[in-house]
Amino acid sequence: MPKNLLLAVLLAAAPLAAADPVEDGIGHTLGSDRFAAGGSVTVSAPTAGSLFAAGARVTVEAPVAGDAYLAGAHIDLRAPIARRLTAAGAQLIVSGNVEHNAWLAGASVEVRPGARFGRRVAMAGGELSMAGTVAGDLQMAGGEVVLNGGVGGDAELAAARIEVGPEARIEGRLRYRSDHEIIVAPGAQIAGGIERTTRGGSAFDWRDRSGFARNGFPRGPSWVTGCLLFGALLLWLAPGLFADTSRLARSAWLQSIGLGLATVFVVPVVAVMLFITVIGIPLALLTIPMYVVWLLLGYLVGAVAVGDFALGHLAPGRTGSTGWRILGLLLALVALAFVRELPVIGRLAVALVFFAGVGALCLRVFRHSRPTAAPAA
């Protein structure tokens, strides 16, 4: 059984969790893995297993022997990671080495000179800068992309503005997609030449064609990272809403699953009927995007409920902390991604979590829309 899948199974094992202080934050250990969350989290002691950290500011100063999963407004990775790195935040700075694959997402992502990656790297966000060295392929998609480092394989870039600096050394082919011509500085070396791709091409498949998805997240790291970013934002903006829906998904789980099933399968039928009536087409066109958003929110609610359940066992005193709930969401998303790969039962378990989340949202709306009874005279 893979290590991270085993972690997912043990999430609710409270007796195995022990206190593990982290500078300016609170930490716990589960076996050799470390979990840390808080307003400001600094990991200054080596981690024997994998590291899961979330906070407004996350700084990793000591080596991690396993994978690293980081989420926060500001993330600063200074130490080496022995396996994979998944990090998402508003501002992300990487100066440490990563032995395996890395998935980096944020409004601003900067990989500094000296940082080395043993395999593939995928970056997504607003402003992306790569000045390190990647042994395998590199994928970057954002608003502005600057590549000024080494790439052992192919480089695939997509942005409104793309610049290749003088220190760039690309051993494979550079493929890019942009509305503007790429800027290549004198001195840049691209062994395989440059190819401009069109929209809808196959060059920007964020699932690793050589096994990245099989060895990492089954649905691709972009799905997990996107859900984490969206869910973290919603937890910060509406903690009460997600507390209510999470509680409903756990306490009224059977009712939530049933209502979720009905919602998922009935709404499309209603939309089709509205289209048939012709006069209902405007309403149908409004229903479809709302339905898609509702399903995404439902999945996030289900994941938050799983994270809150695990958090209630691992760190009962931290269930009211938004930072800890974001960490719980991260754990839940990772767990669901791996559980989904189990034959039959895995997909069924993820589907039940999804239906429970959708149904809990509906329950919350129904209960808060009920008119309050007038007091008796």
205-220 pLDDT, tens digit each: 444 443 334 333 335 5
Question: Which structural domain range is residue 56 located in?
Answer: 3-215
Same domain? For 10 and 74 the reply is yes
> What is this structure's pTM?
0.60
Same domain? For 85 and 172 the reply is yes
Of the residues 200, 215, 230, the one at which a domain ends:
215
45-103 pLDDT, tens digit each: 999 999 888 777 889 999 999 999 887 778 999 999 999 998 887 789 999 999 999 98
| Within a domain: 376 | no
Same domain? For 169 and 254 the reply is no
Residue 343 in tokens? 């034959």
Q: Which of 149, 112, 164, 155 is nearest to 136 (CA)?
A: 155
Of the residues 199, 215, 231, the one at which a domain ends:
215
Same domain? For 131 and 163 the reply is yes
| Within a domain: 105 | yes
Query: What residues pair up with 22 in beta bridges, in sequence order?
Result: 25
Q: Which of 168, 166, 64, 167 is nearest to 157 (CA)?
A: 168
The Cα 124–Cα 178 span in angstroms is 15
Q: CA triplet 129, 131, 133: central angle to 5 degrees?
A: 125
End-to-end CA distance of the chain: 65
Query: What residues pair up with 54 in beta bridges, in sequence order?
Result: 37, 71
Same domain? For 236 and 271 the reply is yes
| Within a domain: 375 | no
SS3 171: coil
- Please, what are the averages of pLDDT over each run of 10 residues along the chain (377 residues)? 36 34 55 77 90 84 92 88 88 94 88 96 90 95 93 94 95 93 94 82 42 41 72 81 88 89 85 75 77 87 88 74 80 80 80 91 80 51
Per the structure, how many domains does the chain have? 2
Of the residues 191, 215, 239, the one at which a domain ends:
215
